[in-house]
Amino acid sequence: MPINRIDEDEALRPTFKIKLLIRLFSYLKPYKFQVALTLLLMGIVSGVELLNPYLLKVAIDRYIATKNLNGLLFLGLVMSITILVSMFCTRKRISLMAKITNQIHLTIRQELYAHLQKLSLSFFDHRPAGKILARVIGDVNSLNNLFNTSVTGLIPDLATIIAVIIIMLAMNYRLALASFLMLPVLIIFLGAVEIVSHRRWQIFRQKSSNLNAFTHEHFSGIKVVQSFTAEEQTKKDFHFLLRENFEAFIRAVRLNDLFWPSVELSWGIGTIIVFWYGTRLLNTGTVTIGLLVAFSGYVSMFWRPVMNISNFYNTLVSNLSGAERIYELMDIEPSIQEAEDAVTLPTLRGEVEFKDVTFGYQDGQIVLDQVSFRVAPGETVALVGPTGAGKTSIINLIGRFFQPQSGLILIDGFDLQKVTLESLRGQMGWVLQDTFLFSGRIIDNIRYGRLTATDEECIAAAKAVHAHEFITKLENGYDTEVQERGARLSFGQRQQIAFARALVANPRILILDEATAGIDTHTERLLQQGIARLLAGRTSFIIAHRLSTIVNADRIMLIDQGRIIEMGNHQELLHKKGYYYQLFMAQFRFLAAKEEPVTRLG
Amino acid sequence: MKRILSYVEKEKRYFIPAIGALLLGIALDMFNPYLLKLIIDRVIIGGESALLPKALSGFLAVAFGRVVFGYIKEYAFDYGGQKVAVGLQADLFSHLQALSFDFFDRTNTGELMSRLKDDVDHIRAALTYVIMLSVENIIYFVSATVILFTLNWKLSLVALVLMPLIAQIALRLEKKIGEIYEHISDQDAKINTTAQENITGVRVVKAFGREEYECRKFLQQNQENYGYKLKRARIWGRYFPQIEFLTNLSIVLVTVVGGALVIGDELSVGTLVAFSDYVTMLIWPMRMSGWLMNDLAEGLASVKKINQLFAAVPSVKEPAVPTILPSFRGHLLFDHVSFIRDGRVILEDINFEAPPGATIAIMGATGAGKTSLVNLIGRYYDCTSGAIHLDGVEIRQLPLQLLRRQVAMVMQDTFLFSATIEENIRFGGGESISPTEIEEALRQAALADFVAELPQGLATVIGERGIGLSGGQKQRLALARALVKKSPILILDDATSNLDMETEYQIQQALEALSGRTKIIIAHRISAVKNADEILILEQGRIVERGTHQQLLALGKRYYATYHDQFHGIKTPEVKPFAH
């Protein structure tokens, strides 16, 4: 799968709208009772609304005409009571609906998020974070009003229409059919508009997702932007995306704004037809004057809900593309899945074995080429090799973040494909290349390694990696909040916290991916001692470039172009006088280059 | 509010036709009851069938007119509203990206995204509705009031007597619901930040198997959000039915008082009937005032949030009277520089000089102040005392962009953009960079072979933050991006830490060959610093050791210890270059 660029629209899979709608509205199912109650309450309120004109008529005919002031006051009281009842009904309806719709909203978003957590790294690697975010936030938000209007609008309006249609048909079917004449025309027209308009809303959502991706990336990398004085360029890029977004919106509303006027027009023409046809029927004597007058009243009663429904349809059309994007994400299967009969790993001893493992991030690409090795429990293995040789890929496979194309990976003899991810990853501790801390307190960031760790355990871990000194110097100590960028902590200090985080997990297998690159040699040494003390006898994999980090490993694996080219401990490899020997000697050569010998020292 | 109105003012050529179309639509609407009455009274009842074609064509004309004006209204409002949104977004973006590092240190990307998108969206939506509703409300209200007063002024006063109460409730609604909208807006920013961090930090989440924990964290935010939405509904549910009740009560009052007036022979029954018809015209805008206030409150809450961002000013300021140099040689001087942040001393009394072309190396423990020191050179932060001079000019006297163009930096936390390799290298330099220069930079950064082997070469797209590249490749790309700028000052902040030694050596050779560029190099490996003209050892913000490699070895202190750590501690079977 190619990487999706920010300014490139996401591919969309075709969907069946009916299926989508069924899926969406199935969220209302658990709230059947509440929906019914809402409708009942609305019925009461509209009943009161209908009753009041009648009461007014009663007031005039019975009391005002007869000059009965007491009767009038009594009627006033009755009216006041009915509207008071109506007020409480409305209040109850609002709170009921708010609960239903917001609960549904919460459910959809949470489901989407939970699904997102299941997806594999390859999913995240191929699209900008801002675009994923746009689905979880923006697209879900776009469904905001859908459920509310569908319950409080659609259902009552449909009921009204059906009632009016029945009444009209009963009164005079010919006249009734004549007045419905415009309806199929309208439906066909709106349906046709919808097809094009739906596509345009999809494009709008894509563009707005692109914009989101850009703002996300831009502000994540704002320091680079500023230091390269690229503000003008990024402004131009932003304006371009903004413009695209604007145009997509305008193109969409240009069609969507037709909805309302086209209903108006149908309404107008429908009325004209009724009167024209009605007067002709009048001449032939088929209808009476009274009937025609009454009928003209029903015509507006028929069209008003039609207008409301098409308005709802309009909202639906513009938001359906949001729903589509949500479900598309929800339907993506994680590429790494647990086997159905996956077993929970027991406490690991830490034996790791690769058997002819071949792996590439994309089809056809070979990053690891038939790699085989076996690491005994408790061994410290250093992975050495040029950048891009496949070191990180090896450890990614151990954590089962990716799936090898062929070959077998065993931990304590268990096939990785047949164990639960949680029992595997839960026993591993990672310190990764790019240190990522969550915004929040330092202590919580350390505890992320093991959620049940006590404060004391977190502090002990921080002490072991020599982070305790600088943390306690911060104004709030372990409670200091770190931010996404946070200048409070240096890069190296962040790495130290990441170390503490891995340490607190008490892992059976520790993996350090260039984890000490930003740390000075002295601190590194102290840190290693701390780790050795806390994690004695655990298997560990270390990727590092500083020889001082590597030499003490039990085993050094030299990796080049996806193959292990040499393996052994420091002494063995030096004796072998192969690649490692050259690498090792090279550092002295680099050191000596352009320089007088330093042997006099000491 | 003023800010938003100025955008509306700027886009008035859309809003004026929109309002015009709205007014004409309402005006046309007034014909319909008249035409209806005409048809019913004279054609149907009166039997004047000759009148029918005329009346019907009138109907048709009105319908067409309403269609045209209705479409113009909708479209022009959408257009204008979106224009305002775009203008606001563009200005907010420019404003934000001009803010200094310290602002971004304390503000999360998720929040900024939410403000730029969600809050602007709220403003746009509110704007259109508020204008539409206000215009309609005013027209209906005024015309209804005028008609009612001509019918009977006493009864009109009765109809209006509850108005002040309704207005008061509407205002209270606006205030209360506005507070909630502010919370909702902040909560949106929070939920955005939580999700954003989760996605950006997905590797950590997965490495520690924290998917469920992350779900719980999100659920908490989600529920908080839900809580605010319910609060909003509670306020709406409290006040809106009250408004509705009062408007209904007005009708009751009119009926009762009007009835009493009729009984007292002060009013005719016909007038009362007509009056109650027109009262609905008055009631409707009153009821809508609830909706109006709700939308207004939502928009205003977002305006407030955005205004807070607009109120932030860059802490690093442009000089009032800038000094402009035609060219720079890269002579850098730190003169008693101290840097204090949040009451903490980060750097204290830093003095050093780097003549053009010199290499200064900086070493020190984590948190010693190395990055802070180099961040002062491009004025990412301003030093709190002392001064930094570039080619004899205090850097605060130079235009900010001009200064920053003289400094090319490779940051520790490599950040690459999801774009092609070429676009990444060109970043900030645009089209002024020639293909040969790109090639040269690739060679210097030891990337040429790697790029040549890629099927799409320079046009290869890399993922966000350089996903798909190894740590070392990312660093080299960031290096190439800095080298291609050919700035007089080159800063490498631990920029080769992820490289294997051989590559690092190659790059060092290339860097040393660069003439006429002043280099500031932060590194932990002796091999990266030993050829520097001066090596500074920082400890808790102070320079504690300085000198050349030889001098510092001879000094036999911290530098020597590091040296010893990195080389001497390693036992070599055959070669013993460091025996003593």
pLDDT tens track for A312-342: 888 888 888 899 999 999 999 988 888 889 9
> Nearest 5°: CA angle at A58, between A56 and A61?
110
List of chain A residues whose C-beta atoms are within 8 Å of the C-beta of residue B90:
235, 238-239, 242
C-alpha count within 13 angstroms, C-beta hemisphere, residue B278: 24
Burial (Cβ within 10 Å: 0-12, 13-18, ≥19) of residue B569: middle
> B83, B98, B113: which is the final residue of a domain?
B98
What pLDDT sits at residue A13? 74
Q: Give B61→chain A minimum CA distance, Å.
A: 9
In chain A, DSSP finds a helix count (H) and a strand count (E) of 24, 12
For residue A433, pLDDT beyond 80 = no
Give the span between the Cα atoms of A531 and A464, in whole angstroms.
6
B125: in domain: no
Instruction: Give the mutation candidate from A439, A521, A588 for the B interface (greatest B CB count, under 10 A).
Output: A521
Q: Are residues B458 and B537 in the same domain?
A: no
Put simply, the answer to whether B366 touches A496 (Cβ < 8 Å) is yes
Q: Say if residue B31 is in the same domain as residue B90.
A: yes
Q: What is the pLDDT of residue B568?
A: 62
Does residue B283 sit in the same domain as residue B345? no
What confidence category does residue B579 fall into, taking pLDDT thresholds of 50, 70 and 90?
very low
* pLDDT band for position A486 (cuts 50, 70, 90): low
CB A486 within 8 A of CB A511: no
Q: Greater confidence, A576 or B273? A: A576
Whether residue B209 and residue A434 make contact (CB cut-off 8 A), yes or no, is no
The shortest CB-CB distance from A257 to any of B74, B108, B471 is to B74
**Percent helix, strand and coil across chain A, each to the nearest 5:** 65, 10, 25
Chain A neighbors of B204, CB-CB under 8 A: 430, 432, 436, 438, 448
**What integer pLDDT is reported at residue A600 of this predicted model?**
33
The amino acid at A484:
E
Nearest CA in chain A to B446: A387
Q: H helices within B161-210, ranges in order?
A: 163-200, 202-207
Claim to verify: residue B423 and residue B394 sit in the same structural domain: no
pLDDT tens string A22-36: 998 899 999 999 999
Structure tokens at B92: 């907010």
Nearest-CA distance B352 → chain A (Å): 22
Residue pointed to by tokens 């605060």: B396
> Please, what's the b/e burial string for A344-365 (b: 16 or more CB within 10 A of its CB; e: otherwise)?
ebeebbbbbbbbebebbbeeee
Model confidence pLDDT, tens digit, residues A575-586: 998 888 888 887
Other beta carbons within 10 angstroms of residue A59's beta carbon come to: 27
A58 touches chain B (CB under 8 A): no
* CB within 8 Å of B579: residues ≥ 6 apart: A599, A602
Q: Do B70 and A260 touch (CB under 8 A)?
A: yes
pLDDT tens-digit readout, A228-259: 888 888 999 999 999 999 999 999 999 989 98
> What are the start-end ranges of the E strands in B205-343?
332-341
pLDDT digits (tens, 9 = 90+) for B144-195: 899 899 988 989 999 999 999 999 999 999 999 999 999 999 999 999 999 9
DSSP letter (8 states) at residue A138: I
Within a domain: B56: yes
Are B332 and B377 spatial neighbours (Cβ–Cβ below 8 Å)? Answer: yes
Does the residue B129 lie in any domain? no
Tokens of A374: 């076996």
Average pLDDT for A220-227: 88
pLDDT recorded at residue B575: 40
B381 and B417 assigned to the same domain: no
Single pTM value for the model: 0.90
End position of a domain, from candidates B29, B64, B98? B98
Q: A294: how many CB neighbours lie within 10 A of its CB?
A: 14
Buried b (16+ CB within 10 A) or exposed e, A304-320: bbbbbbbbbbbbbbbbb
Given this model, what pLDDT does residue A590 score?
64
Size of interface A-B (CB pairs under 8 A): 525
A68 Cβ contact list (under 8 Å, min separation 6): A62
- Smallest CA-to-CA distance from B330 within B397, B374, B392 is with B392
Using the CB atoms, write b or e for B38-71: b if 16+ within 10 Å: bbbeebbeeeeeeebeebbebbeebbbbbbbbbb
A599 Cβ under 8 Å from any chain B Cβ = yes
Q: Do A548 and B366 touch (CB under 8 A)?
A: no
Residues B471 and B493 in one domain: no
**Calpha distance A186→B455 (Å, rounded):** 54
ipTM for the predicted complex: 0.89
CA distance A393 to B76: 55
Output the pLDDT for position B239.
Answer: 95
- pLDDT tens by residue, A54-100: 888 888 888 888 888 899 999 999 999 999 999 999 999 999 999 99
d(CA A495, CA A515): 7
**Which residues of chain A are within 8 Å of residue B79 when distances are taken between CB atoms?**
250, 253
Among B82, B98, B114, the domain-final residue is: B98
Distance (Å) from the alpha carbon of B146 to chain A's nearest alpha carbon: 23
Are the C-beta atoms of B300 and B180 separated by less than 8 Å?
Answer: no
B445: domain CATH number?
3.40.50.300
B271 lies in a domain? yes
Is A344 a residue whose pLDDT tops 90? yes
The residues pairing with B85 across neighbouring beta strands, listed in sequence order, are none
Residue B116 lies in a domain: no
Q: Please tell me the predicted confidence (pLDDT) of residue A485.
A: 64
CATH code of the domain covering residue B274? 1.20.1560.10
The answer to the question of residue B132 being in a domain is no
Domain count, chain B: 4
Q: Which domain holds residue B423?
A: 413-486
CB atoms within 10 A of CB A453: 21
Residue for token pair 């929906």: A35
A585 touches chain B (CB under 8 A): yes
| Distance separating the N- and C-terminal Cα atoms of chain A | 57
What pLDDT does B68 receive?
94
pLDDT in tens, A538-588: 999 999 887 777 888 999 999 998 999 999 999 999 999 888 888 888 777
Per the CB < 8 A criterion, the answer to whether B458 and B438 are in contact is: yes
| H-state helical runs in B101-162 | 101-106, 109-114, 120-151, 153-160
Same domain, B83 and B12: yes
Nearest CB to A133; choose among B66, B199, B208:
B199
Contacts of A89 by beta carbon, 8 Å cutoff, 6+ apart: A41, A42, A44, A45
Instruction: Tell me the CB-side half-sphere exposure of residue A56, using CA atoms within 13 A.
Output: 25
State the Cα–Cα distance between residues A425 and A400, nearest whole angstrom. 8
B340 and B441 co-located in one domain: no
H/E stretch holding A190 reads helix A182-220
* B438 in a structural domain: yes
**Average pLDDT of the segment spanning A364-369:** 87
Domains of chain A: 17-330 (1.20.1560.10), 346-427+539-602 (3.40.50.300)
- Pick among B476, B501, B529, B549 to test the A interface (most A CBs inside 10 A): B501
Does B242 lie in the same domain as B198?
Answer: yes
Residues B438, B400 within the same domain? no
Q: What is the pLDDT of residue B515?
A: 80
User: Do B396 and B429 belong together in one domain?
Assistant: no
Set of chain A residues whose Cβ sits within 8 Å of the Cβ of B476: 387
Are B398 and B434 contained in the same domain? no
At residue A441, what are phi and psi to the nearest 5 degrees?
A: -70, 150
- Run of H or E residues at A235: helix A231-256
Structural domain includes residue B30: yes
Which chain A positions have a beta carbon within 8 Å of B50's beta carbon? none
Residues within 8 A of B (CB atoms), A 142-201 only: none
Question: For testing the chain A interface, which of B52, B64, B113, B465 should be mutated: the one with the most A CBs within 10 Å?
Answer: B113
CB B333 within 8 A of CB B346: no
Facing residues of A257 across strands?
A: none
User: Chain A residues with CB inside 8 Å of B188's CB?
Assistant: 137
Which sign, positive or negative, has the C-alpha torsion B421, B427, B432, B436?
negative
The position carrying tokens 């520089």 is B337
Dihedral over Cα of A501, A503, A504, A508: its sign: positive
State which amino acid sits at residue B561: A
Q: How far apart are CA A117 and CA B209, in angstroms?
A: 10
